[in-house]
Structure 1
């Protein structure tokens, strides 16, 4: 793995751990992290009462190429939605009968922005 890619994945993993701790502190129940399937990956999965919360974590050290929140594109959302379908199928849950939402944790430098229902 090229060094630049390795550094990026290490930074991403650290940002995910910060986001995980933050959401636990907010009262969400942690389920799992880095769920992978053929369709894509889900960074973090929580439960908020009876609702599944699928969390995408974005981190930017500088805003020279845009904020972390701007990195969550339509294409990324579609890929995340396909991964969510895989997760629900793995648990034998029906999308239409399962309460869920997609949240974004955008970390810019030291600021955490939790955007619910993106």
Structure 2
């Protein structure tokens, strides 16, 4: 039986492969700072993409999308600002989500611009 950490790592690996197949470039995986963690930081052209990966084995409690709460969005936004502060230049960026449903045979849903920075 896989632990929750292993399942999360497997989901992030699956998401990385999927996004690379879509021609995105991996910049960072599991970026951590005092404000939180960002699962994946990718690049598409000159746009930096902060990706939250969510896997749910069941949609009973709203599925993967419902688990990205306002509090989680705030943490992601703060961590993204921290990351960007360390970059030279001013890059366009956005927040995407990769939702993986174990209930539907590991179906992957890519939500571009999953939420706005607020």
TM-score (norm 1): 0.88
Cα offset, 1:90, TM superposition: 2.1
Unaligned runs of 5+ in 2: none
RMSD of equivalent CA atoms: 1.3
Do structure 1's residue 27 and structure 2's residue 23 form an aligned pair?
yes
Cα offset, 1:100, TM superposition: 0.2
Moved over 3 A (4+): none
Give secondary structure in 2 for the equivalent of 1:64: coil
Count of aligned pairs between the two proteins: 110
Counterpart CA distance in 1 for 2:31 and 2:13 is 14
Structure with higher helix content:
1
Counterpart CA distance in 2 for 1:64 and 1:7 is 20
Do structure 1's residue 51 and structure 2's residue 47 form an aligned pair?
yes
TM-score (norm 2): 0.88
Unaligned runs of 5+ in 1: 1-5
